[in-house]
């Protein structure tokens, strides 16, 4: 009897889905992210850490991962014509970009 196993790609797809849903995107649920809310605040405000924590709550499998398995980074977009930042989640060593579902 074969058993199905959840892979790292599955977890990354779950985070990609979560990043594709704004907070409150499902009626009666606050599931989803608030990435635009962290873009206009100082990095020291700790809102990025709050989004990682919210992802851990909204996606229970992510919550089961060890500490440090999910991180969030703000990267300068060097290809953009204007000053622009990209928000990227690192999920178990792979990058999942916010806004690209």
- Among 60, 57, 34, 58, which Cα is nearest to 45's? 34
Interval 4-23 mean pLDDT = 89
**pLDDT band for position 101 (cuts 50, 70, 90):** very low
Is the pLDDT score of 1 beyond 60? no
Contact 62, 91 (CB under 8 A): yes
User: What are the start-end ranges of the H helices in 40-99?
Assistant: 47-58, 60-63
Tell me how far CA of residue 4 lies from CA of 15, 28, 64, 65, in angstroms: 20, 31, 18, 19
Interval 65-89 mean pLDDT = 79
Which pLDDT belongs to residue 56?
92
Which of 21-25, 28-32, 66-70, 79-83 comes out lowest in average pLDDT?
79-83
Identify the DSSP state of 77: -
Average pLDDT over the chain reads 82
Residue 80 Cα to chain centre, angstroms: 22
Is the pLDDT score of 42 beyond 50? yes
């Amino acid at each position: 009897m074969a058993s199905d196993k959840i892979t790292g790609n599955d977890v990354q797809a779950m985070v990609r889905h979560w990043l594709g849903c704004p907070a409150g995107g499902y009626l009666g649920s606050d599931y989803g992210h608030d990435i635009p809310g962290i873009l206009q605040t100082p990095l020291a405000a700790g809102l990025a850490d709050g989004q990682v924590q919210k992802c851990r709550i909204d996606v229970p499998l992510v919550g089961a991962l060890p500490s440090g398995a999910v991180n969030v980074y703000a990267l300068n977009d060097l290809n953009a014509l204007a000053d622009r930042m990209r928000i990227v989640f690192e999920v178990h060593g792979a990058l999942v970009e916010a806004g690209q579902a």
